[in-house]
Amino acid sequence: SQKIEQNSEALNIQEGKTATLTCNYTNYSPAYLQWYRQDPGRGPVFLLLIRENEKEKRKERLKVTFDTTLKQSLFHITASQPADSATYLCAPRNTGGFKTIFGAGTRLFVKA
C-alpha cells in the first residue's frame, strides 16, 4: 500500500540554523509533491510545489528537493526564525485523480 513517512520526532533547532525536514514515500510514483505548513488550531497553508522533473525549487528562505530515485523530498528552511515553528506536511500527488494524501507531518521548533 502507499505510504508517506516524515520524521515522527519533533525537530528542535536554534534560530539562524537551517532546518531540514524529510519526506519519504513508497509504492508511489508522484508527478508532483506539495509542502504545507500548519499552525496549531489552523488549517494547512500551501508553501511550495515541485514537479518530478525538477530537482530543486526555491522560494525566499525555503528550498525543496525531489529525488524520484530515492523516493524522497527534502524541505529546507534557511536562517530559521522562531516564527517558522509549526508542523510541516508533505503531500505527494499522482497525475490524475482527485486525492491528496498527507504525510503525518514534522513538528519544528525554532528556539531564539
Partner 1 sequence: DTEVTQTPKHLVMGMTNKKSLKCEQHMGHRAMYWYKQKAKKPPELMFVYSYEKLSINESVPSRFSPECPNSSLLNLHLHALQPEDSALYLCASSQDTGTPNQPQHFGDGTRLSIL
Give the footprint of partner 1 on this chain (CB under 8 A).
31-32, 34, 41-46, 49, 51, 89, 93-105
Q: Which H or E run contains 19? A: strand 19-26
Identity of the residue, 42 or 83, whose beta carbon is nearer to partner 1 in the bound complex: 42
- How many CA atoms, within 13 angstroms, populate the side-chain half-sphere of residue 6? 24
Nearest approach, Cβ of 70 to partner 1 (angstroms)?
A: 21
Fill in the amino acid letter for 42.
Answer: R
Nearest approach, Cβ of 4 to partner 1 (angstroms)?
A: 8
Which among 8, 34, 52 is positioned nearest to 101, based on CA atoms? 34
Nearest approach, Cβ of 16 to partner 1 (angstroms)?
A: 28
